[in-house]
Structure 1
Amino acid sequence: MPGTEQFRTEHEAPAPVRSGKYLRYVALGDSQTEGVGDGDDVVGLRGWADRLAEHLAVDNPDLQYANLAVRGRRAGEVRSEQLGPALALRPDVATVVAGVNDLLRLRVETSAVVGHLEAMFAALTDSGARVATVTFPDLTRVIPLARPVRSRILAINDGIRAAASRHGVAVAEIARHPAVADRRFWSEDRLHCSPPGHELIAAAVAHALQVPGSDDSWTQSPPPLDASPSRHWRATAELRWAATFLRPWLGRRLRGQSSGDQRTAKHPLLHRVEAPRS
């Protein structure tokens, strides 16, 4: 695990003062928190955590933000690689979202995944941080081939809710949102959210944290699509998706590789966040 020194701010600041304001937000997780699907590696990734930081900055003009997430990381790796550096940054608000990469493995113990998440919930809340997480959508609604993992998703979501309740962690119920079956919510690979999907998650987490200015409008159903795709269009789309995304993913798994190999966090140091201009 990298030394915590590289994750500290240039000049060590005193621990944040809890006064109803957030001074330091740290995000832990995998590709979804990194922002894959919202931008790219050329122009840069944004993602729901970046968007949430902007929401927080509206009422917290001195907010600083670090994003330790790295694509491909499993829950245990997030815990071993990111929790220590996160605690060293002494956040007063943190998000923990991990587990999807575990779900997609051939074998997984859902209780072990939840155990890693709960350990992070406990450590961060014990440090004084307000913590938030999300439940996972049913991937079978957009990837029919993912049916074998549906029971895992349901089990992990139940575990997340129980662990969050034990530690006072705010939960954004993304799993229950009707938009998760809407192709506009997802990027082309169907594993990562599109920009509108990332914005929906940011709004959901802001609402779960009761951020001033947030509300439950994110729970509303999206407007209907203009027309349902034909059966031929769907079949063609499935073949194109399998060739473009599923085959390379399977190839990496067979070679023991990850999309996150040789990658590091995009924002390992706390930096000032500007609120979005109205």
Structure 2
Amino acid sequence: MQTNPTPPPYRSLVAVGDSFTEGMSDLLPDGSYRGWADLLAGRMAARTPDFRYANLAVRGKLIRQIVDEQVDTAAAMNADVITLVGGLNDTLRPKCDMGRVKDLLTEAVERLAPSCGQLVLMRSPGRQGPVLERFRPRMEELFACVDQLAGKHGALVVDLYGAPSLSDPRLWDVDRLHLTAEGHRRVAEAVWQTLGYEPEDTEWQVPIPASLPPGWVTRRVADARFARQHLLPWIGRRLTGRSSGDGRPAKRPELLPYEGPA
């Protein structure tokens, strides 16, 4: 009789990062965000009694802020698994010192890797469109650094950037910066499999079925709404030195037993 593989002995998870890891835009009925890290924690908790989870991610954080505000806290938790995703917000800034970004990412990995059982890094997904094409060289420079650090420190890399499905605009919210609930579900599956768990969805990388593209008028209306509701406020924050995460606490600041959303 065939038996299922023994699941990995991971009893705790700490997530470090920005809005991608906080869970925007996987919105719950109470107005909070869920996201791939919560979904992953729920799956791991279902397999492991007394599973503990912390999510230190805060939207809008740059890699310097992640290092200063999250890394030491995460390292002190000595979790079985730590996920680190950061630096992409930096690459989208008009003035970005990629050498500094890579140095800070290196610092984060060097501090986190010895403190946990398994460090997980990611090559983040990118939405098809002009923004991706403009910043692709910076993103790929960042991902090359991720690969190099993973090889040096024994970290796992989840290649979301190489998954055709996750570049589909239909898996991105109206702000064009964050994944939908289905996008986050696919990311959770990708990390789940990378950690060695038995796949629950063998087709997370497969593109969603083709559909008729929206008409010209529909696209222009969507562009206008995007500019008004998301692009202009984003530009305003950049000009005034503000961030969407200013004053916002970590999502789950303590490593506590996991309880799913009500």
Q: Counterpart of 2:124? A: 136
After superposition, the C-alpha distances for 1:100-137 in whole angstroms (9 at most, x for unaligned) are: 21012121122322222232222222124201121123
Q: Is the 8 A contact 1:57 1:63 kept in 2?
A: yes
Aligned to 1:247: 232
How much has 1:67 moved relative to structure 2?
0.4
Alignment match, 2:22? 34
Q: Which amino acid aligns with 1:189?
A: D
Cross-structure match for 1:43: 31
SS in 1 for 2:203: helix
Residue 78 (structure 1) aligned with residue 62 (structure 2): no
Cα RMSD (Å) of the superposition?
2.1
Partner residue of 2:242?
257
What is the CA distance between 1:194 and its match in structure 2?
0.7
1:70-219 counterparts in 2 under 5 A? Answer: 70-139=58-127, 141-142=128-129, 144-145=130-131, 147-214=133-200, 216-219=202-205
Shift of residue 147, structure 1, vs aligned partner = 3.6
Higher mean alpha-carbon deviation, 94-103 vs 116-125, is at 116-125
- Between the aligned partners of 1:233 and 1:216, the Cα distance in structure 2 is 34
The answer to whether the aligner puts 1:223 opposite 2:223 as a matched pair is no
Distance 1:55 1:115, change over 3 A: farther
CA distance in 2, matches of 1:47, 1:56: 15
Distance 2:58 2:40 in 1: 18
CA deviations on 1:39-87 (whole Å, 9 max, x unpaired) are: 1695321111101111212322221000001111111110111011111
Partners of 1:151 and 1:40 in 2: CA distance: 34
Q: 1:71 to 1:275 in 2, by over 3 A?
A: closer
Unaligned stretches of 5+ in structure 1? 1-18
- What is the aligned partner in structure 2 of residue 4 from structure 1? none
Task: Out of 266-275 and 154-163, give the one that drifted further.
Answer: 266-275
The residue that corresponds to 1:57 in the other structure is 45
Amino acid paired to 1:118: T
Match for 1:66 among 41, 54, 74?
A: 54
Please state whether the residue corresponding to 1:71 is helix, strand or coil.
Answer: coil
Letter paired with 2:173? S
The one-letter amino acid paired with 1:47 is G
* Aligned positions, number: 255
2:146 is paired with a residue of what secondary structure? helix
* Sequence identity percentage: 37
Q: TM-score, normalised by structure 2?
A: 0.89
TM-score (norm 1): 0.85
Q: 1:29 to 1:179 in 2, by over 3 A?
A: same
Worse-matched range after superposition: 244-253 or 19-28: 19-28
Partner of 1:7: none
Alignment gaps of 5+ in structure 2: 1-6
What is the alpha-carbon distance in structure 1 between the residues aligned to residue 132 and residue 198 of structure 2? 38
